[in-house]
Structure 1
Amino acid sequence: MNETGCWNTIGVAGDMSCGKLADKVHCRNCEVYSGAAQRNLQRPVDPSYRAEWAARLRQPLPAPEATDSSALAFRIGREWLALPSSMVARVAPQATPHRLPHRSGATLLGVVNVGGTLAPAVSLASMLGIDERDAAAQAGRHTFARLLVVQWEGHSFALPVADLHGIVRFASDALTPPAATINRGMVPYLRGVLARGGMHLGVLDAPLIGNQMTRLLR
């Protein structure tokens, strides 16, 4: 029998009839298996294989992507959006807003307690015309609704979001105009669209969003 393949026939990958298994328990503990591994690592390298890898390693490394912006990406409904990371103060667990008499509505939801501090809760879904019930299924991952706490002109705002993706860094000139099929209510609030890892993020215009939220407090 060829000792280099006995683990596939009488070993753990075979019928397990090898008499050494009673003592070794597993083929990886056997000198036959480890010896075959050593011979495999020490086998002569084909010249064409060495030439191929030498040619690959001689190739210059691609220039790193120049980035000048970073943003936190999040989802509302089925829309992936992003706000500048400098605007984000914290991420907090979801909380039910307490309505304000004569002030709460579709966009200003009320106030929420975030770490012992009250902050106005603002619905970006209402502001941007997004249907929060229209959410695509997220395969292979768990999603958790959260509050995104942002700051603008000394005010804190709590924005309910359905999911978070994380920080993305990008070059400003990498943004492209919104597609014609995008939600028209979002277009005035977008700086542009960023393609990243199969996702299309709507990068929001921070001053415009911030000013709209501030007006809600007047």
Structure 2
Amino acid sequence: MSTTIIEACWNRIGVNGDQSCDKLQQHVHCRNCEVYAAAAQQNLQRPVSDDYKKEWAAHFRRDAGEGQQQDLSCLVFRIGREWLSLPTRMFVSVAPSARPHRLPHRSGRGLSGIVNVSGTLYPCMSLADLLGIDESEGEAATHSHTFARLLLTQWEDQAYALPVADLHGILRYAGASVQAPAATINKGLSRFLSGVITHQDMRIGVLDEALIGYQLARTLR
């Protein structure tokens, strides 16, 4: 252990003490004083213990491949009681929830209508319908007050608005940590999943970007 003792006068008679130091009138603050600067130099040049050296030597000897690199990023949201995710690159922005206006002669499964977000019209797509999720099951799963939102997303040249019951936010994760979906997941949802990731106490379904994008585009045809 280092035996260097630094006299921290700024904590006794300086700005953090009783402010009785006669140098304060000239320097205003201890950080402008030569005594404070000398103490900083002394602290930086103090000898370090063998344990400290060993700890950092072990840190830098560690293989850079140890642990899993968080190489992927997704946006996590909830529909019904299912926590799901899509790659962050698909999303443009998040908007408050809005009631869609139905389109005449268009009642296809998955297309709820159109929504106006800041003067721009977006087709409002129901992932609950497309994935076979019961939206009414979600309230009891959270035990907290939540806010529904619209996720504005872009697939190829088409923009979409996706209503969600809750939004967790952006999550970085390791691609190597993705697990296979459980066999108990409903078939309507499971065929759109490329895997499952775990975060805190959440099991998050990783939606296949290409399949979801294709299904959204197909619904608009």
Q: TM class, shorter-chain normalised?
A: 0.5 to 0.7
| 1:91 aligns to 2:93 (yes or no) | yes
Amino acid at match of 1:76: R
Partners of 1:34 and 1:26 lie apart in 2 by 12
**Contact 1:73/1:164 (8 A) holds in 2:** yes
How many residues are aligned here?
209
Shift of 1:91: 3.1
**Secondary structure of residue in 2 paired with 1:19:** coil
**Contact 2:115/2:121 (8 A) holds in 1:** yes
**Secondary structure of residue in 2 paired with 1:176:** coil
Q: Structure 2 vs 1, CA of residues 55 and 191 (structure 1 numbering), >3 Å: closer, same or farther?
A: closer
* Cα deviation code 1:27-83 (max 9, x no counterpart): 11111111111112112233443344334323332268589x956323135643223
Amino acid at match of 1:32: V
1:47-196 matched pairs, under 5 angstroms: 47-62=50-65, 72-77=74-79, 79-84=82-87, 88=90, 90-91=92-93, 93-94=95-96, 95-101=98-104, 103=106, 107-113=110-116, 118-127=121-130, 128-131=133-136, 134=139, 135=142, 145-151=149-155, 156-161=159-164, 162-163=166-167, 165-166=169-170, 168=172, 170-171=174-175, 174-179=177-182, 186-195=189-198
**Contact 1:146/1:163 (8 A) holds in 2:** no
Selected match of 1:39 from 42, 59, 62? 42
- Unpaired segments ≥5 residues, structure 2: none
Amino acid at match of 1:14: G
Amino acid at match of 1:35: A
C-alpha RMSD of the superposition: 4.2
* Cα deviation code 1:155-212 (max 9, x no counterpart): 54321244363475653x6422345787887444322202357754311134554565
**Contact 2:76/2:171 (8 A) holds in 1:** no
Counting aligned pairs with the same residue, the percent is: 44
**Secondary structure of residue in 1 paired with 2:7:** helix
Amino acid at match of 2:52: Y
TM-score (norm 1): 0.67
Partners of 1:170 and 1:49 lie apart in 2 by 31
**Contact 1:76/1:132 (8 A) holds in 2:** no
- Unpaired segments ≥5 residues, structure 1: none
Amino acid at match of 1:176: Q
| Aligned residue number for residue 24 of structure 2 | 21
Partners of 2:124 and 2:28 lie apart in 1 by 61
* Cα deviation code 1:97-131 (max 9, x no counterpart): 22223545884321134687644211223442234
Shift of 1:13: 1.8
TM-score (norm 2): 0.67
